[in-house]
Structure 1
Amino acid sequence: MKLRKVSAAAATALVLTLTATACGGDGDSEGGSGSGGGDKIKIGIKYDQPGLGLKEPDGSFSGFDVDVATYVAKELGYEPDQIEFVETKSADRENALARGDVKLIAATYSITDERKEKVDFAGPYLLAHQDLLVKTDSDISEATDLNGKNLCSVTGSTSAQNVKNDFAPKANLKETGGYSECLAGLQSGSVDALTTDDSILAGYAAQAQYKGKFKLAGLKLSNENYGIGVKKGDTETVNKVNAALEKMVKDGAWETAVKDNFGPANYEYEPAPKIGNIVK
Structure 2
Amino acid sequence: MAAPTLRRGTCGVVLAALLGTGLAACGDSGEIKKPDLVEGAEAGGKLTIGISYDEPGVGFKDGDDYSGFDVDTATYVAEALGVDDDDITWVRADPADREELLTSGQADLVVATYSITDERKQQVDFAGPYFVAHQDLLIRRNDTEITGPKTLHDRVLCSVTGTTSSEYVREHYKGDITLKEYPRYSACVEALLDGKVDAVTTDDLILAGYASEDRYRGKLKVVGDGFTDERYGIGVRKGDTALVAKVDAALKQYIDDGSWRAALDESVGGSGYDLPDPPTPGTA
Alignment TM-score, normalising by the size of structure 2: 0.86
Q: Which of 47, 52, 56 matches 2:58?
A: 52
Contact 1:199–1:267 under 8 Å retained in 2: no
Q: Which moved more, 1:75-84 or 1:141-150?
A: 141-150
1:202 shift after superposition:
1.0
The equivalent of 2:142 in structure 1 is: 137
Cα distance in 2 between the residues matched to 1:113 and 1:215? 32
Amino acid at match of 2:43: D
Give CA deviations for 1:128-166 in whole Å, capped at 9, x if unaligned.
000000011111002022121111011111202312322
Q: Which residues of 2 match residues 1-280 of structure 1 at below 5 A?
A: 5-8=5-8, 12-14=32-34, 16-17=35-36, 25-28=42-45, 40-57=46-63, 59-138=64-143, 139-167=145-173, 169-277=175-283
- In structure 2, the residue corresponding to 1:204 is in which secondary structure? helix
The one-letter code of the counterpart of 2:258 is G
Contact 1:159 1:196 in 2 (8 A): yes
AA aligned to 1:79 is D
Q: Greater relative contact order: 1 or 2 (C-alpha under 8 angstroms, separation 6 or more)?
A: 2
Question: Deviating runs (4+, > 4 A) in structure 1?
Answer: none
| Contact residue 49 and residue 204 of structure 1 kept, 8 A | yes
Q: Given the two structures, how large is their TM-score scaled by the length of structure 1?
A: 0.87
Question: Residue 215 of structure 2: SS of its match in structure 1?
Answer: helix
Which amino acid counterpart does residue 100 of structure 2 have in structure 1?
A: N
Structure 2: distance between partners of 1:173 and 1:151: 5
Q: 1:60 Cα deviation (Å)?
A: 1.0
Distance in 1, matches of 2:170 and 2:119, equals: 18
RMSD of aligned Cα (Å): 2.1
Question: What percent identity do the matched residue pairs reach?
Answer: 46
Query: Would you tell me which structure has more helix in proportion to its own residues?
Result: 1
Aligned residues: 259
Separation in 1, partners of 2:81, 2:162: 29
- Give distance in 2, aligned partners of 1:277 and 1:41: 24
Contact residue 65 and residue 108 of structure 1 kept, 8 A: yes
Distance of aligned partners of 1:89 and 1:66 in 2 relative to their CA distance in 1, 3 Å threshold? same
Structure 2 segments unaligned to the other structure (5+ residues): 11-30
Q: C-alpha separation between the residues in 2 aligned to 1:172 and 1:100?
A: 36
Contact 2:32 2:263 in 1 (8 A): no
